[in-house]
């Protein structure tokens, strides 16, 4: 392939990988993480809508990739597509890519609850990846679900969780670059006495210096779809018998989702026992000191791969209760990193280079 057309990565052996939605927040992060983790790529193609064709995105320090048109791209010969273009776009292109023999790892909501599509967090249910062959599509869960189930998995294995109540404090980056711009412009405008409504397009209310208890659309029972996602995705990934009640809010933070999680377990649980279990679990860093600065906030987790757990303590309102605080970079572990980790397991255990 010609360098100007192909966006070829300078690797000798490996897989042909397409990144769909390459100009968005998550797509750019996918390219960064592929390079950081030295994923075995032979070629990388950056794909997006026709309006982004010809734009350049970086792959590592040395490669600059020219964006190609998703609508006309032929996926024949592509091994893996890491996809984050929006649910409607995925619904149209993913089956086409899969029919060409490409395995699509999709970050949108479209395929998550399809019974024939595995929904995967590698630290929690990597064995589910084996079911990719039915549709050649693997779904990446919702960002807030991912960090929660990473923390819940070792606790469920040790103490068997019966019920979860979670309240989320989700950053604006989860709603895309335009949402980040809205927070920035509203904040700047308020300091020079401009109305926040002059910069209000993405969110239903002012986001600067505010908290909005509303993410995604409202459903008939009063929950938002984000809250519904956290419940049904946890059941599909971890255990269908766990009862989950979620409360999701958007906060004026640029990057990093925070969650307060309260669990009720079948087996007796203490904060000390839970701390020990979590300290030995993959993908988790416990920072839990009962002192000033003895916990992690979104500022500290930005750019990091781990799910950070803090504020472990007994919930004495139930027989076997525990509460904790967890934070993670929603663009990394909550999206791009999780997708790349799925690709790593897929390549290692199921595909031939």
Q: Between β-strands 15-20 and 80-83, what pairing exists: parallel, antiparallel or unpaired?
A: parallel
Whether 294 has a binding-site annotation, put simply, is: no
Q: Which of 102, 110, 143, 156 is catalytic?
A: 143
Does 27 belong to an annotated binding site? no
The answer on whether 247 is annotated among ligand-binding residues is no
Q: Are 41 and 60 in contact (CB under 8 A)?
A: no
Q: Which two tokens stand for residue 71?
A: 């609508």
311 annotated to a ligand binding site? no
DSSP string, 301-326: HTT--SEEEEEEEE-TTSTTEEEEEE
250 in a labelled binding site: yes
Ligand-binding annotation for 96, yes or no, is no
How do 68-69 and 137-139 pair as beta strands? unpaired
Give the C-alpha separation, 282 to 276, whole Å: 13
- The response to whether 204 counts as a known ligand-binding position is no
- The residues, any chain, with a CB within 8 Å of residue 101's CB and separated by 6 or more, are 75, 76, 77, 78, 136
5 assigned to a ligand binding site = no
Compute the CA torsion angle 353, 334, 175, 117 (nearest 10 deg): 60
Q: Residue 248 catalytic?
A: no
Are 17 and 27 spatial neighbours (Cβ–Cβ below 8 Å)? no
Structure-block tokens of residue 340: 């790349």
User: Would you call 58 helix, strand, or coil by DSSP?
Assistant: strand
Annotated binding-site residue? 83: no
Check 102, 156, 257, 326 and give the catalytic one: 257
Dig out the tokens for 61 from the structure: 């320090």
Does the annotation list 25 as a binding residue? yes
Q: b/e string for 125-152 if b means 16 or more Cβ within 10 A?
A: bbebbeebeebbbbbbbbbbbbbbbbbb
Residue with tokens 């419940």: 231
Looking only at the bridges linking them, the beta strands covering 321-328 and 307-314 are: antiparallel
Confirm whether residue 330 is marked as ligand binding: yes
Q: Is 51 annotated as a binding residue?
A: yes
Query: Which residues share a beta bridge with 221?
Result: none
Q: Would you call 301 a catalytic residue per the annotation? A: no
Going by C-alpha positions, the residue among 281, 282, 261 that lies closest to residue 337 is 282
What are the DSSP E strand ranges found in 243-344? 243-250, 257-265, 284-286, 307-314, 321-328
Tokens, residue 264:
């009720």
For the annotated binding site, the residues are 23-26, 51-52, 112, 170, 173-174, 250, 330
What is the set of active-site residues?
A: 143, 257
Where is the binding site for phosphate, in residues? Answer: 112
Residue ranges of the binding site for substrate: 170, 250
Annotated binding site for NADP(+): 23-26, 51-52, 173-174, 330
């Amino acid at each position: 392939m010609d360098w100007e057309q192909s966006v070829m990565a300078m690797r000798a052996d490996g897989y042909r990988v397409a990144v769909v939605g390459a100009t968005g927040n998550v797509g750019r992060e996918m390219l960064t993480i592929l390079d950081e983790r030295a994923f075995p790529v032979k070629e990388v193609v950056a794909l997006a809508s026709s309006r982004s064709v010809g734009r350049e995105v970086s792959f590592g320090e040395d490669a600059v990739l020219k964006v190609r048109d998703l609508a006309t791209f032929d996926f024949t010969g592509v091994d893996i597509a890491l996809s984050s273009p929006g649910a409607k776009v995925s619904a149209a292109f993913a089956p086409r890519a899969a029919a060409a023999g490409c395995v699509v790892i999709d970050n949108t909501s479209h395929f998550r609850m399809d019974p024939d599509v595995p929904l995967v967090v590698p630290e929690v249910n990597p064995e589910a990846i084996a079911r990719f062959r039915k549709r050649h599509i693997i779904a990446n869960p919702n960002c807030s679900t991912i960090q929660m189930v990473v923390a819940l998995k070792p606790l469920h294995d040790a103490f068997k969780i019966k019920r979860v109540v979670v309240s989320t404090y989700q950053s604006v980056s989860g709603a895309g670059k335009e949402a980040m711009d809205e927070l920035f412009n509203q904040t700047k405008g308020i300091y020079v006495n401009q109305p926040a409504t002059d910069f209000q397009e993405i969110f239903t209310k002012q986001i600067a210096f505010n908290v909005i208890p509303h993410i995604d659309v409202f459903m008939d029972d009063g929950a938002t779809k984000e809250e519904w996602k956290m419940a049904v995705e946890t059941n599909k990934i971890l255990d269908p018998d766990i009862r989950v009640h979620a409360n999701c809010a958007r906060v004026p933070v640029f990057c990093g989702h925070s969650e307060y999680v309260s669990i009720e377990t079948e087996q007796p649980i203490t904060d000390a026992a839970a701390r020990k279990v979590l300290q030995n679990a993959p993908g988790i860093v416990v920072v839990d000191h009962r002192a000033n600065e003895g916990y992690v906030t979104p500022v500290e987790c930005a750019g990091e791969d781990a799910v950070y757990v803090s504020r472990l303590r007994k919930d004495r309102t139930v027989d076997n209760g525990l509460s904790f605080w967890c934070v993670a970079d929603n663009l990394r572990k909550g999206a791009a990193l999780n997708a790349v980790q799925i690709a790593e397991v897929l390549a290692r255990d199921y595909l031939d280079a």
